[in-house]
Amino acid sequence: MTDTVTLPERRAIDPQIARSWLLVNAARADSLALATGPAADQLIVDLEDGVDPARKDEARERATEWLDRGHRAWVRINDRTSAFWSDDLAALQSADNLLGVVLAKTEAAEHVTETFDRLGGALPVIPLVESALGIEEATAIAKARGAFRLAFGSGDYRRDTGAAADDLAMAYPRSRLVVASRVGGLPGPIDGPTVGTGRPLLRAQTGVAVSLGMTGKLCLDPAQVPVIDEVICPTASDVAWAREFLADFAARGAVIRDGSDLPRLGRARKIERLAVAFGLTG
């Protein structure tokens, strides 16, 4: 018998704790159509790697029209050093329903602040860290004005460094992003996508990311969303423990008995907050 929770109907999830982040290609009408139904905690319309350079203008037009029709989403824009970055921002400055931007290939704090300022200093920026330099600068990036939550571009990181895709090779960059997020006062970072549709692999890779302290995951296929959401949720036993501990703590007058109480209290309260936010039962 697996230790699972009962997931409710889809509800609005705060992006600070959002688990599944679905990327949809702005240049493809069928991809945008997938984003109109209930799916991931957060949607990202992609103007970057998923879009052929010759179709960037078309993708921007499709993205802004889609947003203006009432759809709310994030948009992944091209990196600060590319020729497309400025045009992406110009197109999005007047777009309705834009929740924020995911900045590709972030390698410096100023990439974040310049993007944030170009968008009027009001919309959050998720720096997507995808290289050895980005990992090295992760703490400065996390502290940058406008940074909202870090994300890991695992595929490009492997291409940049020659690292393998196995858990051991990916543990260091993931951990660096977790530590940088904590130092920068940001929520837990968002892991890179798992390529392929195999649920066992997706479940295993998501579980490893969670064990390292990551609290979200990018995905390219709506079919991956339920697995990601389930794995990142507190388990049924975690929720039961948290509620039992909190009830016992309240029943004894909120008295601290020993040094283990405060860490357990913090963990229990966090689990309870997530359980309420995600609408978990059981």
| Tens-place pLDDT, residues 59-71 | 999 999 999 988 8
227 & 253 share domain: no
134 & 269 share domain: no
Residue at 14 is within a domain:
no
Q: Which residues, other chains included, contact 135 with Cβ-Cβ below 8 Å and sequence gap of 6+?
A: 129, 157, 172, 173, 176, 177
25 & 75 share domain: yes
Q: Which residues, other chains included, contact 270 with Cβ-Cβ below 8 Å and sequence gap of 6+?
A: none
Per-residue confidence at 34, pLDDT binned at 50, 70, 90? low
pLDDT at residue 282 above 80? no
| Tens-place pLDDT, residues 193-231 | 998 768 899 999 999 999 999 999 999 988 899 999 999
pLDDT at residue 6 above 50? no
pLDDT at residue 255 above 90? no
Residue at 55 is within a domain:
yes
Boundaries of domain holding 274 = 236-278
Strands (E), the chain: 20-25, 42-46, 73-77, 98-103, 125-129, 151-152, 190-191, 216-219
How many domains would you assign to the chain? 2
208 & 259 share domain: no
Strands (E), 104-253: 125-129, 151-152, 190-191, 216-219
Contact indicator for 227, 193 with CB cutoff of 8 Å? no
User: Which CATH number goes with the domain that contains 199?
Assistant: 3.20.20.60
**Pairwise CA distance, residues 199 & 139, whole Å:** 33
Percent of the chain past pLDDT 90, that is, above it, reads: 67
Q: Which amino acid is at 128?
A: L
Per-residue confidence at 151, pLDDT binned at 50, 70, 90? very high
Residue at 6 is within a domain:
no
Q: What is the pLDDT of residue 14?
A: 95
**Pairwise CA distance, residues 155 & 153, whole Å:** 6
46 & 130 share domain: yes
